[in-house]
Structure 1
Amino acid sequence: MTSDALRRALTDPGDPPLPPLPGVAVELLDALDAPPRLAAHLRLVHDVARQLTAAFAEQFPLVPFDRQAVLFGAAIHDLGKIEHPEELSGPGSAHEEAGYQLLLRFGVPEERARFAVTHAAWHAPGVQLEDLLVSLADKVWKGKRVTDLEELVVDRLADITGQPRWQSFLDLDDVLAGLAADADRRLAFQAEHPVHG
């Protein structure tokens, strides 16, 4: 049974309103009695991914990517923190493989479960643009800008569009700066929800 604190983290409208997580993410969080702060965090990153992918599609219409995969990845990327709750408030990477294995055990296909690992493995072989977009959302939600991650995205954009690298950088920077502007509000929302249910 879902705790009141988890239910609130999943349904609190937020200001401005946050969209709900995809049904499968909610089912997993419910089934695993996830920490409320994790649910709040996943909602925030999912919302940033929603805004990021919308802006990306508008700014870079020639760049193909799977928006639904990015949104799913953002909604489940830190699921392994259920097994490693100490990583909700401190550093650590044990949640990455744990989340991947957890998702596989619950029947999530590998091509979607991979986001539990790839959101922190930008330079790994086979990382796709969708993985990088989840990583961007996971950083910019709190106003953090990561140069090497952004450079990887800029390189992909310049390669696909044929536009100069500096133009891709400026276009991406505009999108990310706009998203980062709401970081304080997001951090406050996350802090309203307890680490333990």
Structure 2
Amino acid sequence: MEIAENAALVVVDVQKGFEEEYWGKRNNPDAERNIAVLIDLWQETGRPVVFVRHDSAEGSRSPLRAGHVGNDFKDFVEERRGKGSGPELLVVKSVNSAFYGEPSLDAWLRGHGVGQIVVVGIQTNMCNETTARMGGNLGYGVVFPLDAMHTFDLEGPYGWTAGADELTRATAVSLHGGGFAEVVGTEDVVRGASAGAAGVR
């Protein structure tokens, strides 16, 4: 796996509100650890990092609503913000895609000559998948480390339900099989990013 020396890590919605019972049962308890590993590596190698925060719409009862403690980044993310030697951006959004936030993620990435993004965070089949799909449509090479994110069980139409692991598999198949993103593991990204960083020293 090749990770460009200026690939951007896009950390989506790693916020305290996702710890509330409101969401139901989650999967992948290792997600936060793997996200932290990738943030640390990106900051150590001077690569660009984008932190994305979801501000739920005014009047929403969502745990991610602005002004609620759940809107804050989880501590392990907040503690890392501003610590890297590379460029960093905060994007605030109120919809699924990080490309529809403020300031413009697309403009910032292009301004830094970025052609590859690595998407991590919460939720796998919601904001992460939407951001990955749009990134692919915009011409970015999208890397999707599936173990550096998590999601929740979900109820849909007709009384249908899907578990978090089932939704994760569906997202992986759709993105990878559909050519929107390369679905990999955190270790794959670490190896690729470390090799790329060593090559530019």
TM over 0.5: no
More strand by share: 2
More helix by share: 1
